[in-house]
Amino acid sequence: MQLYLTYSSPFARNVRIVIHEHKLQSCVTEHFAHPFHNREELTSSNPLGKVPCLSLDNGTTIMDSEVICAYLDKQLGDGRLSKALDEDWDLKTFCSASSGLMEVLVLRQVEKIREREGLVSDFWWQRYNRAIDRTLNFFESKVAQFPNALSLLHISLGSALSYLDFRHEDFDWRSERPQLAVFSKTLETLESFSANTLHE
Ligand X SMILES: N[C@@H](CCC(=O)N[C@@H](CS)C(=O)NCC(=O)O)C(=O)O
Residues in 72-111 that interact with ligand X by CB under 6 A: 106
Measured CA to CA, the distance from residue 45 to residue 55 in angstroms comes to: 7
Stretch that binds ligand X, among 22-30, 64-72, 73-81, 128-136 (CB under 6 A): 64-72
Measured CA to CA, the distance from residue 75 to residue 90 in angstroms comes to: 24
Residues in 105-134 that interact with ligand X by CB under 6 A: 106
Member of 45, 55, 65, 98 binding ligand X (CB under 6 A): 65
Residues in 4-63 that interact with ligand X by CB under 6 A: 9, 11, 35, 49-52
Is the Cβ of residue 9 or residue 184 nearer to ligand X in the bound state? Answer: 9
Q: What angle do CA 136, 141, 155 make, to 5 degrees?
A: 60
Q: Give min distance, CB of 65 to ligand X, in A.
A: 3
Q: Give min distance, CB of 84 to ligand X, in A.
A: 20
Is the Cβ of residue 69 or residue 177 nearer to ligand X in the bound state? Answer: 69
Member of 64, 88, 140, 165 binding ligand X (CB under 6 A): 64
CB atoms under 10 Å from CB of 107, counted, come to 15
Q: Give min distance, CB of 131 to ligand X, in A.
A: 16
Residues that bind ligand X (CB under 6 A): 9, 11, 35, 49-52, 64-66, 106
